[in-house]
Amino acid sequence: MNLLNFENRIQKYNSSLTDNDKKITRYLLANKASIRDKTIIDLSEEIQVSPASITRFCKKIDFNTFQQMKFSLIGNSTENRKSDHTFEKVYNYYQTIIKSTQEFFSEEQTSRIVKLILNKNKVLFCGIGNSGLIAHEFNSRIYRMGIASESVTDAHDLLMKSSLLQENDLLICFSNSGKTKPVIDSAKIAKNNNVTIIVVTNFEQTVLSELADEVILISSYKYIDDPKFINSQIPGLFLLDLLTYKLLNNEDLMHARQKTLDAIHKYS
């Protein structure tokens, strides 16, 4: 895992932030462009908190100093790449989110995930709404490699399918908030069956994350300071592309995928 930027640290340590910390966070995110030359005294007066509160906040999200926090915030600001051209704006947003998501990943963890997928009897992907679209996409890629897999996005189906999972199966849950009740319930059922659980989410300390054997953190699009940009799927798709690439390093999986492509080509 690389050094996390400001927004990713807020995600990671969200559950430990006090109301005062969240007040500081809101101000900093809303005023990225104007804090470059501000001192800690300036900010404490504008936010109406003590300088000590800002120092504690910096330490809590794992910055050594106020200056380090400020440079991280400024450096990741989309304000630094302002453009009136819609194409360039969206392109910059994509770059920001992908770079931000990359910070959460490590070679060691992604290799563990690939190993789990390869060694389990069956993989069940689950998610609701936009997270369900990611679950469907990953399943579509996996079963074309010859891996026994299924995706479920209906709440009742989630409960039923999870209850049938066995100890050597794998449940992969997608939930940005980590609070999606049907997904949490399905994970609880799977946990009771000693099923290995992977959770892909924005937040580390949630009920869903606590049920997981592996938590994969991805960035939230909500830190892009533009209400017209609403794509919540980019981080998940980036993860899927990364895991797909690593899986296809396996010659058997690559061969199986080619067989499915040949069959479609021959009879289409």
In this predicted model, which residue has the larger pLDDT, 7 or 243? 243
Instruction: Give the pLDDT score at 82.
Output: 52
Nearest to 116 by CA among 198, 235, 234: 198
50-70 in b/e burial notation, b at 16+ Cβ within 10 A? eeebbbebbeebebeebeebb
- Note the pLDDT of residue 89: 85
**Residue 33 in this model has a pLDDT that exceeds 90:** no
When pLDDT is cut at 50, 70 and 90, the band that residue 32 belongs to is confident
Phi first, then psi: give them for residue 170, nearest 5 degrees.
-135, 130
Residue 93 maps to a domain: no
CA distance 66 to 47: 15
Q: What is the pLDDT of residue 91?
A: 87
Q: Are residues 71 and 123 in the same domain?
A: no
Burial grade of 109 (CB within 10 A; 0-12, 13-18, 19 or more) = middle
Residue range(s) defining the domain that contains residue 52: 6-77
Does some domain include residue 89? no
Alpha-carbon separation of residue 159 from 14, 77, 184, 189, 212 (angstroms): 29, 41, 10, 7, 17
Residue 63 shares a structural domain with residue 165: no
Q: Report the distance separating Cα 34 and Cα 37, nearest Å.
A: 7
The pTM assigned to this predicted structure is 0.78
Tallying the residues shown for the chain, one arrives at 268
- Provide Rg for the chain, Cα atoms: 21
Q: How many domains, the chain?
A: 2
Instruction: State the CATH number of the domain containing residue 15.
Output: 1.10.10.10
Q: Could you tell me which residues are beta bridge partners of residue 151?
A: 125
Q: Above 70 in pLDDT, residue 84?
A: no
